[in-house]
Every structure is written in structure tokens, then in C-alpha cells.
Structure 1
């Protein structure tokens, strides 16, 4: 939706249990993961500009 380093700075996702951080560096980049206990996560703050994201939830 917008470009990191051009439209905004910061952001990303941190998976708490695995101490792993993922940065979305490309337009159109997406992640699919189970968001419950096994992949508890947090969105990292955008430090500059405006970042737009699209979120979807699928329930079994």
C-alpha cells in the first residue's frame, strides 16, 4: 500500500515467543501466520510518516 523508507519509517512485526522481527520492505508483501498462542505478535511503531496496512482474520 505504501513504501518503507519513502512513505514511512519504522513498523514491522515482532513475534514474541520466537524473538523474531519481520520488516515489510516491498510493496505488496504479505504475511500469513496463525495469530493465536503459537505466534503471539505485536506491530512495531511507525516512527515517521503514515503507514497503511490491510488485515484479515480467518476463523476455523
Structure 2
């Protein structure tokens, strides 16, 4: 694993598909996924134990 993959990255757990708190679907959003390999993203998604995880990259 590279040092880029190991650095601390901001992420948020958000509640989607409902306007009522805690009645939606929890979703993890990694704010800066640049430099993460597929394996690291899979490991992170497994760690959150949520049904959905999204990784944000800079626009191309």
C-alpha cells in the first residue's frame, strides 16, 4: 500500500432517500479518492459496513 493510500482522508456518512433523519439509506462518501487503488477502495467500503460507498475524484 502506498503512502498516498494511507493518508487520512475526509469522509462523511450521509442519510439518503428520506427527508426524515435515520429513515433513509446510510451512504459513505470519501471526499478525496485520488490515488486510491481498487483494492483500497474495496477495503474501505468493507470497513464502513454500509450498503453503498462513493468515492469522489477531481473532474477530468
TM-score higher than 0.5: no
Higher relative contact order (CA 8 A, sep 6+): 1
TM-score scaled to structure 1, two decimals?
0.28
